[in-house]
Structure 1
Amino acid sequence: MLFLELFKQVPVKILMVALLIILTVYLIRKSIKLFFDKTSILDEKREETLMHFAKQVTKVLGLVFFFIYVLSHYFDLAKLVTGSVVVAGALALILQHIIRDYIMGLTYLFERQIHHGDYVIINGDRQGKIEEISIRHLKIRQYDGYLYTVSYSNITELQNGNRGMRRVNESLILNYRQNPDDAFMVMEEVAQICNEKYGEYLLKDENGIPVESFKFNQITELNVDFRGNRYSISGLVKEADFVEASKKVRYELAMTAYKNDLMMAESLNTSH
């Protein structure tokens, strides 16, 4: 009897419900993981993305159910809900950004625009690899090591580089006094060197032929910031090799500019 009386006490009931919710969340996550392990309906990245999203959703739902249960012991929820239309409207207005985040998050997920581990550029200035996908925001690990968090409602532009290929596009800005003919010969040499040394990074077709080799694109922009002209080199590489390939091409450009005494563009504020 004492044992039964103990279970009727509100704090014990709340504790038991909390443990039950935790167990239910664990079992749901475990079931989803087992389902993905036993099937091959989706690709690995898609499965990993859905697992991360499921963890966030189950956590939020678990907390919501727990708070509803706790409040039900102190308030008449039926009367509270039916008699609080104005309050509910005000809350909806206050929480509109959060609701918008949830809707946009679901849109990004189910339209398969993003996956866990994708390399993305957000709003044109933040770039890195997606480390966490929640129901309200994205977290990307930038190359400087910082973890950048952005809510879905604040994303105005999203570029996803994980489509199997990326285009390396590196350039030198040379002084407008630099002879273009001399620069052309040097840049053509850099493109050839990159193809010889870093050909394994290039994206290839079914016959093993590069889809787009490293090539010199001549002058791609004149009078950049009133300092000089832009000479660029590009090539189509495998997405996984994009970062490394970009580093290699930049190195070759810097080394060639040094060896050939190319006149680099200088800031207008440079004093002599």
Structure 2
Amino acid sequence: MVFTEFFQQFPVKVLTVALLIILIVYFIRKFIKLFFDKTSFLDEKREETLMHFSNQVTRVVGLAFFFIYVLSHFFDFGKILTSSVVLASALAIILQHIIRDYIMGLTYLFERQIHHGDYVILNGNRQGKIEEITMRYLKIRQYDGYLYTVSYSNITELQNGTRGRRRVNESLILNYRQNPDDAFKVMEQVAQTCNEKYGQYLLKDVNGIPIESFQFNQITELNVDFKGHQYSLSGLVKEADFVEAGQKVRYELAMAAYKNDLMMAESFETSH
């Protein structure tokens, strides 16, 4: 009798339900992991992404059930759900961005546009490795070490570089007084040097021929930030070599600019 009364106390019931939900979430996650370990019809990256996403879903659903259980002791949810159509509509309008995030997140996931660990460029100005995929947002680790978080509804453009290939795209911004003909000769020489020294990084076809060698793309943008013109060089490399290849190309560009006395662009604040 005392034992029964003990479990009828509200704090004890809440703690019991919380422990039960934790156990259920744990076993669901273990079952999903075991399922992927025993099957092989999905590739490893796809399995890792689904595992990561399922962990997020089970956590959110578990918390939702817990809060509903606790609040049900203070509110009559049956009456609220049957008599508050207007309230539900108002909440849908207020939470439309959150709902949109969830829908777009599911779309990105099930259309296989992103995987955990992919290298992506978001909205043209943020790039890095996907470190976390949640139900509402992405977290990417940028090359400068910062962790960037963006909700799905704020993603207007997504470029995924992880499909076994990446395009190195490096550039010099030269002063507008720099003679373009001289700059062209230097950039073409840098492209040739990169092909000779770093050809092992290039992505090749079945015959061992580079799909896209390092090449000079001429002037890709004029008057960048009112400082100068942009001269770009690019090449298609293997995903695993992307970071190192980019470092090598940047070094060759810096060395070429130094040796050939190219006029680098300067801001008005630093010009003399």
Same fold flag (TM > 0.5): yes
Equivalent position of 1:154 in the other structure: 154
Q: TM-score, normalised by structure 2?
A: 0.91
CA distance in 2, matches of 1:76, 1:7: 22
Q: Which amino acid aligns with 1:164?
A: G
Deviation digits for residues 83-140 of structure 1 (CA, Å, limit 9, x no counterpart): 2222222222221111111111111111111111111222222222111111011111
CA distance in 2, matches of 1:94, 1:227: 44
Runs of at least 5 residues in structure 2 that lack an aligned partner in the other structure: none
- Do the aligned partners of residues 200 and 102 (structure 1) sit closer, same or farther apart at CA in structure 2, a change above 3 Å counting? same
CA distance in 2, matches of 1:259, 1:135: 51
Q: Which moved more, 1:126-135 or 1:8-17?
A: 8-17
CA distance in 2, matches of 1:14, 1:270: 64
- What is the aligned residue count? 272
Percent identity over the alignment is 82
Q: CA deviation at 1:184?
A: 3.4
Q: CA deviation at 1:76?
A: 2.5
Q: Which amino acid aligns with 2:63?
A: L
Equivalent position of 1:252 in the other structure: 252
Equivalent position of 2:204 in the other structure: 204
CA distance in 1, matches of 2:53, 2:196: 43
Equivalent position of 1:56 in the other structure: 56
Deviation digits for residues 139-168 of structure 1 (CA, Å, limit 9, x no counterpart): 111222221111111112222111221221
- Do the aligned partners of residues 150 and 227 (structure 1) sit closer, same or farther apart at CA in structure 2, a change above 3 Å counting? closer
CA distance in 2, matches of 1:243, 1:224: 25
CA distance in 1, matches of 2:152, 2:180: 46
Q: Which moved more, 1:246-255 or 1:93-102?
A: 93-102
Equivalent position of 1:231 in the other structure: 231
Equivalent position of 2:195 in the other structure: 195
CA distance in 1, matches of 2:21, 2:75: 21
Q: Which amino acid aligns with 1:263?
A: M
Q: CA deviation at 1:186?
A: 2.6
Q: Which moved more, 1:76-85 or 1:214-223?
A: 214-223
Deviation digits for residues 1-24 of structure 1 (CA, Å, limit 9, x no counterpart): 222222232322221111111000
CA distance in 1, matches of 2:100, 2:230: 42
- Do the aligned partners of residues 18 and 253 (structure 1) sit closer, same or farther apart at CA in structure 2, a change above 3 Å counting? same
Q: TM-score, normalised by structure 1?
A: 0.91
Q: Which amino acid aligns with 1:236?
A: L
Equivalent position of 1:36 in the other structure: 36
CA distance in 1, matches of 2:10, 2:228: 75
Q: CA deviation at 1:57?
A: 0.5
- Do the aligned partners of residues 203 and 14 (structure 1) sit closer, same or farther apart at CA in structure 2, a change above 3 Å counting? same
CA distance in 2, matches of 1:85, 1:219: 59
- Do the aligned partners of residues 241 and 33 (structure 1) sit closer, same or farther apart at CA in structure 2, a change above 3 Å counting? same
- Is the counterpart of residue 87 in structure 1 residue 87 in structure 2? yes
CA RMSD of superposed structures (Å) = 2.0
Q: Which moved more, 1:212-221 or 1:138-147?
A: 212-221
Deviation digits for residues 7-57 of structure 1 (CA, Å, limit 9, x no counterpart): 232322221111111000000001111111111111111111111110111
- Is the counterpart of residue 105 in structure 1 residue 75 in structure 2? no
- Is the counterpart of residue 171 in structure 1 residue 171 in structure 2? yes
- Do the aligned partners of residues 227 and 37 (structure 1) sit closer, same or farther apart at CA in structure 2, a change above 3 Å counting? same
CA distance in 2, matches of 1:223, 1:151: 33
Q: CA deviation at 1:251?
A: 0.5
* 1:11-30 correspondence runs (5 A): 11-30=11-30
Equivalent position of 1:130 in the other structure: 130
Q: Which moved more, 1:257-266 or 1:192-201?
A: 257-266
CA distance in 1, matches of 2:81, 2:223: 65
Runs of at least 5 residues in structure 1 that lack an aligned partner in the other structure: none
- Is the counterpart of residue 243 in structure 1 residue 256 in structure 2? no
- Do the aligned partners of residues 178 and 77 (structure 1) sit closer, same or farther apart at CA in structure 2, a change above 3 Å counting? closer
